[in-house]
Amino acid sequence: METGFRQLWQEVRLSPLSSVNIAALAVFLVVFFLFRHFGRTRRFLNIPPGPTPLPVVGNFGSLVVPPFVLKLFARRGDYENSQAHPLSPQVGLMQLSRLYGNVYSIFVGNQLLVVLNGYEMVKDAMTNYAEVFSDRPDIPLVSILTKRKGIVFAPYGTVWRRQRKFCHTALRNFGLGKLSLEPCIHEGFTIVKAELLKRSQEAGAAGMDLTPLISNAVSNVISSISLGQRFHHQDEEFRTQLNLMASGLEISVNSPALLINIFPWLYYLPFGVFKQLRKVERDITAFLKKIIAKHRATLDPENPRDFIDIYLIEMLAQEKAAELEEGGFSEEYLFFIIGDLFIAGTDTTTNSILWLVLYMSLYPDVQEKVQKEIDAVVGSGRLPSLTDKGTLPYTEATIMEVQRMTVVVPLSIPHMASKTTEFRGYTIPKGTVIIPNLWSVHRDPTVWENPDDFCPSRFLDEQGQLLRSEYFIPFGIGRRVCMGEQLAKMELFLMFTSMMQAFTFSLPEGHQPPPMNGRFGLTLAPYPYKVCITPR
């Protein structure tokens, strides 16, 4: 049929213009678009139920309104400070499950998204259908920035499996999850502690924002592992790079740069956020590639200093053995992997610590129980250690409860169906974007009693010992589970316990707490807040 359409179009296009030709062209267009419509209808014939999409925009306008759009219709002060914030995407998607079930469809433009809610649905899809649902969609803005390489956003397949397996092994052998990283994290906290003592005195009753110090400490752990060096918190180049990464994330998720996903050519516009985003990418690229080049020039294969050295040694070994495959180990891949480690590792852990401090400020009774437990087990003569985890069950339960309440990556990273498949009685076409709503797993009233209440004791048994739950999956589940899970757990435990040992946190007197639904972006960050810090 399509061949016939092409022949008809050629005849119409080459014939002299006349009313007959115009009529033929009209018939051609009508038939062509009807053909496409019925083809699309057949493709989506047995998809999960969902709200009726509007032409062109689908369900986008009614379900997800980007923050930069909201700011166009509200004064900045009202938008930033009002308690009446719009429904967060993860909450809205969870509420739709009450109408359409735990697996349903929505459209963003013409793109089909299938949303999974609840533990059973997410686990079934991510584990029993892992080979089909572990791919990543080709999102224009993400693809432009990552070239679909690295670990987090790379498509699922042989190259990704080789890269992830190597990275996971290298990081584990280099100390990930072992006590060898503990001194590095302690060193970071020592700097944080000194700065908090200094700045809290300067801020006084007005309180202070912890974000810059926490972000620097977390980034320095990643830097020690991957780059083999730490940066002082006042190091201008390092601070510039952290600011660039934060700016790039903010532009990518909370500005008109989102429109690049609809019109990719916008990325190249020579003004506004588009120009700013290109500059951020250019500056970060120059910084990381300079470090990689320095590592290669000073590489000693017998004495690897960090992750970059380990990767370069493997890359050179494959080159020597003539085993390097297209898309395999290369400096370009290394560059994007380092970017993944920095951006994903810094943002998620920083926000988790900020959420912990905020919840302790709002629940002083919980904070006091955590401090009493740390005082009894650790005392004040040394910093908490990973070896203390087993004897600090209430502290560990508090960390887990804050993670459950906040889920810093609430909708996971989007997955994609790599082929058409049957799932739960529905047909999921190839190319469908799969959204595992991790928020819904952790707020599911069928598995958590009073899920919207903050209650650390839900993770403790009758004897007060830590109670593990299969429904607790803040790092995801399946083959795309967060590669940095062990590092994040180490950092959260050591930073949180050290801060609780040294300080008591509270909101400034008369200040209202920030909205607790969080700022939705690549991660779920708390709205900006300040705390008063009292040394213990």
Query: Which residue numbers belong to the known binding site?
Result: 482
Distances (CA, A) of 506 to 178, 193, 208, 526: 33, 16, 11, 16
Smallest Cα–Cα separation from 395: which of 488, 472, 496? 496
Residue reference for tokens 């705390």: 531
Alpha-carbon distance 346 to 249, whole Å?
12
Q: Which two tokens stand for residue 24?
A: 């033929």
Smallest Cα–Cα separation from 216: which of 240, 202, 233? 233
Distances (CA, A) of 448 to 29, 459, 469, 470: 55, 11, 10, 12
Alpha-carbon distance 122 to 136, whole Å?
16
Q: Which residues contact 302 (CB under 8 A, 6 or more apart)?
A: none
Q: Which two tokens stand for residue 117?
A: 């809610």
Alpha-carbon distance 42 to 240, whole Å?
52
What single DSSP character describes residue 112?
A: E
Alpha-carbon distance 487 to 222, whole Å?
9
Alpha-carbon distance 232 to 395, whole Å?
30
Distances (CA, A) of 282 to 240, 287, 399, 429: 13, 9, 37, 37
Smallest Cα–Cα separation from 287: which of 234, 225, 216, 231? 231
Q: Which two tokens stand for residue 107?
A: 């459209």
Q: Which two tokens stand for residue 412?
A: 């996971």
Q: Which amino acid is at 373?
A: E
What SS3 class is residue 534?
strand
Binding-site residue set for heme: 482
